[in-house]
Structure 1
């Protein structure tokens, strides 16, 4: 079976022992609000308890995954969700990062395995009668989507399936988009009509918010991803295609984020009026985008996922020590 090759950038680049991060929260925080969902702890308890029954992570890997505190991330990103919707959102986030880690850490580092994983994942969304798959990560998604079907509007469900399809296809192409941009619509119990959801300004706000979040994440995750040999990251792309050193590449991505924030503000000022009721829904949806962006950025300096035990110190100093190469996980056999 065809394996993904070791990138030339990884084998030919010599990195410094540490790098300096730009202060992204300082300028995004002027545009995007931060709020903590009061249902955080009880919703996280139920979500983790349910997720744990699938046995996806065991031993030290389970503890490491749980220590990342995706419950807190969800409470910051879905700040206005009620208890049941936050609980489902947390499980969706656990699904997303479990799937993403299988790609990043090598368990799906094989074209056929990746294709099988994508096929099984999309089948559980498109066919409600599909029995629970043996591929445990897809079984988690299936359980979440069953709950979403009970109270999610048709438009919300359709757009969630489309977004998941785009994510898995990009993953198959090793162009992973880590965004969960369609979850906020569900957590806010919004059933945005197509005239709002498909409005060019609303679409652009969603894309801009996703870009800001993903590009910031690319800076934060670069040290760990590069150590794994993963160059599907904006910093690595800038290094390769613009012939930049790592700190110049980070500065370039930071400037792109700053420009995107300015574009977001300019676009938001062009938001049209949709009429009574719809204006309020559009405003809540856009507020959800903003909570998601700032919540994720702030969580990045709380979780050990990116900077280990030095996350607090990294936030204070902006200095990150680069890590030694990381061994990948054993390949995973994917069954429907």
Structure 2
């Protein structure tokens, strides 16, 4: 099955950043100035979700120690600060599953593996009660999505399932690109990144945790769609800046900075600075559209305000999390936050 649409074009990777010793991180916090709010249930829910994850995912040392450094619970607690303990737990289980899947997709040998994972997981999402599978990904989906369906609204549930399918299709494309050493041009990379980021299904959790189920006419409105896109782009592109060092060390090309260096023939620092300006533009897009939100009536408007706040929380929490988690900056997150200097890691042998 071909994943490449007729409009997709590729650029061979010819630019080398081997002479760069590192780069200076732009001041991302000056643009994303929203307050960070943390869920009071963070600690005990995180511990419960971790125990579930280690058991269901068959995680053993040294992977357990490595995972604990990710501080995944901090990210989710900042994204859903008003959720009760039950709904927060489902969010955390989903994130832990997603982080495992993201790591495992980096080493799958071909896209057929992705299609197999997609099949069992999508089956679990559509019918978690009756789906039978021994696949570890599918079993974990069955576990957390059974809980999701207990209180998730029908429209919210369908949005999650649909956007998860988009994620799997994009994930297969990313695997195929990695294996064949390709990188998209900027326009097509941005389009693909919006599906592979995982933001879209996580947006459904904003509704889920708040126990709202927004009408389709609201969610399909161009202003709401523009705010979702701006949030997705900010989370994705700021992640690309902060994850670039780790990704370049393992020769990954699915990164905004790498795409800019290749297509625009920028050096590393110029590409990072330009990516930062793109991030700044996403914040402005978000605010511009917030200012022109239409009204759907008092009750729906209250729910829309919750959804908009949830998108804002996602931008804030994801940015702060990068500096407390060891996922991309190792143990140097607090130091990098102060110095804003990132020294490049050596590339792994091919």
**TM-score, structure 2 length as denominator?**
0.86
Identify if the C-alpha distance between structure 1 residues 129 and 146 changes in structure 2 by more than 3 Å, giving closer, same or farther: closer
1:153 aligns with 2:153: yes
Residue among 284, 287, 300 paired with 2:306: 284
1:222 aligns with 2:224: no
Q: CA deviation at 1:79?
A: 1.0
Question: Would the aligned equivalents of 2:157 and 2:204 in 1 still touch at CA under 8 Å?
Answer: no
Residue among 320, 324, 329 paired with 2:346: 324
What are the Cα deviations for residues 52-73 of structure 1, in whole angstroms up to 9, with x where unaligned? 2113422112210122110111
Residue among 1, 17, 34 paired with 2:21: 17
**3-state SS of paired residue (1:19):** strand
Question: Would the aligned equivalents of 1:170 and 1:177 in 2 still touch at CA under 8 Å?
Answer: no
**3-state SS of paired residue (1:53):** helix
Note the 1:63-82 alignment, pairs <5 A.
Answer: 63-82=65-84
Match of 1:127 in 2: 127
Question: Would the aligned equivalents of 1:18 and 1:320 in 2 still touch at CA under 8 Å?
Answer: yes
What are the Cα deviations for residues 237-293 of structure 1, in whole angstroms up to 9, with x where unaligned? 111111111111111111111112111111110101110211110000100110111
Deviates more, 1:134-143 or 1:228-237: 134-143
Q: CA deviation at 1:132?
A: 4.2
What are the Cα deviations for residues 82-108 of structure 1, in whole angstroms up to 9, with x where unaligned? 11000110011101111111123x1x2
Identify if the C-alpha distance between structure 1 residues 245 and 126 changes in structure 2 by more than 3 Å, giving closer, same or farther: same
Match of 1:177 in 2: 197
Residue among 233, 252, 266 paired with 2:255: 233
Question: Would the aligned equivalents of 1:10 and 1:226 in 2 still touch at CA under 8 Å?
Answer: no
Note the 1:35-54 alignment, pairs <5 A.
Answer: 35-54=37-56
**TM-score, structure 1 length as denominator?**
0.90
Question: Would the aligned equivalents of 1:57 and 1:65 in 2 still touch at CA under 8 Å?
Answer: no
d(CA) in 1 for partners of 2:16, 2:104? 25
CA RMSD of aligned residues (A): 1.8
Match of 1:141 in 2: 141
Identify if the C-alpha distance between structure 1 residues 93 and 11 changes in structure 2 by more than 3 Å, giving closer, same or farther: same
**3-state SS of paired residue (1:109):** coil
Identify if the C-alpha distance between structure 1 residues 218 and 178 changes in structure 2 by more than 3 Å, giving closer, same or farther: farther
Q: CA deviation at 1:178?
A: 3.7
**3-state SS of paired residue (1:182):** helix
Q: CA deviation at 1:306?
A: 0.9
d(CA) in 2 for partners of 1:155, 1:288? 17
Question: Would the aligned equivalents of 2:129 and 2:146 in 1 still touch at CA under 8 Å?
Answer: no
RCO higher in structure (CA 8 A, sep ≥6): 1
Match of 2:5 in 1: none
